Amino acid sequence: METHFPSYPLAELHAHLSTSIHSSVYWQIAQSQGFKLPKRDYHEFIKHITLSQTRTMELNTYFSEIYHPLLDKLSSGTYAVEKATYEIMSGAYRNNITLLELRNNPMKHNQGGAVDLDHVIMAMLRGMERALLEYNKLSAGIIFCLAREFTYEQNEIIVEKAVKYHRRGVVGIDIAGPGTPTFHSKDYQSLMKRAKQAGLQITVHSGETKDADDMWDVLEFLEPQRIGHGIRAAYDKALMQEIVKRGVILEVCPLSNLVTKAVENIDEIKFILKTFKENKVKFCINTDWPEIIEDGHLWRQFKLLRDENILTEEDLKHCNQTALESTFVPPGGLSAYL
Ligand SMILES: [Zn+2]
């Protein structure tokens, strides 16, 4: 099979567990556990869960219709979590990725509380260890996502688990999910400080869609090293200056923004990345949903950005270098956690 991998290995810092599982792996998980699926034919199932440049869906619609009722459910429990983590990480290496940060909210993978959280986390770590053992040039780590829709107490438990398993490969904390009336970054200031003191690093989903525009609060109260997406900053000069001043890196996920209608079209992506370059905002390129988006693998997204004249080969190399320099993962593959 002909591929167009860049001549250098890639680093992926922003990919979610549920949206990084290959359809065939989802299918195996479902069949082996007897899950009833909304589509009984494999190809129909793929069509149902996949978004593309011609099948777009608003983020919240995808979440409520496909992500939560189907993907989260299928990728729940120890068997699914271990298999998924192993398959995602080994598959990433076979697609030219040598550094992978994989994120998930462990409380969304414990079958609604039916499975003990430590068992779910250990399953994830076993999957990662096996991939790291088999592919010895791969480095990887796991980020735990808190949820804006969760209570503070639930999120605090996730942080405590991240601290507990930090030495085993949980490298950072993220906050994900759409804005809610009850979530305020300010309330999480001391919890994030505690996480940092324990050696965890911080990234936060923000500035992805027009209604998730809390980047100023995120910077002030949570002081993350990186921000997931952050594309709305391109429309706020003062915000870009603040990002540069603080040395925060934006994890840009171009194709994800296109298929979930966070941007109008590819020209808007072009405008955003051009604006970031002009304002010296540092960013890296990521997939967010590598298996749910058609042609969503990282090397394919590099190719798309180059083919559409959005970034040059030199820009892309620079983005990859930015990712390598801002990773939360310690060097050394498996030995980093032994
Ligand atoms: Zn994301």
Which CATH number does the domain housing residue 42 bear?
3.20.20.140
pLDDT at 6: 87
The rounded Å distance from CA 157 to ligand 1 centre is 21
**213 located within any domain:** yes
The rounded Å distance from CA 303 to ligand 1 centre is 21
The rounded Å distance from CA 177 to ligand 1 centre is 9
pLDDT at 112: 87
Mind listing the pLDDT tens digit for each residue in 297-333? 999 999 999 999 999 999 999 999 999 999 999 999 9
**309 located within any domain:** yes
Domain count of the fold of the chain: 1
What range does the domain containing 187 cover? Answer: 16-328
The rounded Å distance from CA 38 to ligand 1 centre is 25
pLDDT classification of 181: cutoffs 50, 70, 90: confident
The rounded Å distance from CA 15 to ligand 1 centre is 6
Sheet containing 283-285, strands listed edge to edge, beginning at the edge strand earlier in sequence: 10-16, 97-104, 139-147, 170-176, 201-206, 226-229, 249-252, 283-285
pLDDT at 2: 53
Mind listing the pLDDT tens digit for each residue in 125-159? 999 999 999 999 999 999 999 999 999 999 999 99
Q: Would you tell me the crossing angle of helices 189-197 and 152-164 to the nearest 10 degrees?
A: 10
Tell me the residue type at 137: K
- Burial of 152: CB neighbours in 10 Å, binned 0-12, 13-18, 19+: middle
Task: State pTM to two decimals.
Answer: 0.96
**209 located within any domain:** yes
**207 located within any domain:** yes
The rounded Å distance from CA 298 to ligand 1 centre is 14
pLDDT at 52: 93
The rounded Å distance from CA 228 to ligand 1 centre is 6
The rounded Å distance from CA 204 to ligand 1 centre is 9
**267 located within any domain:** yes
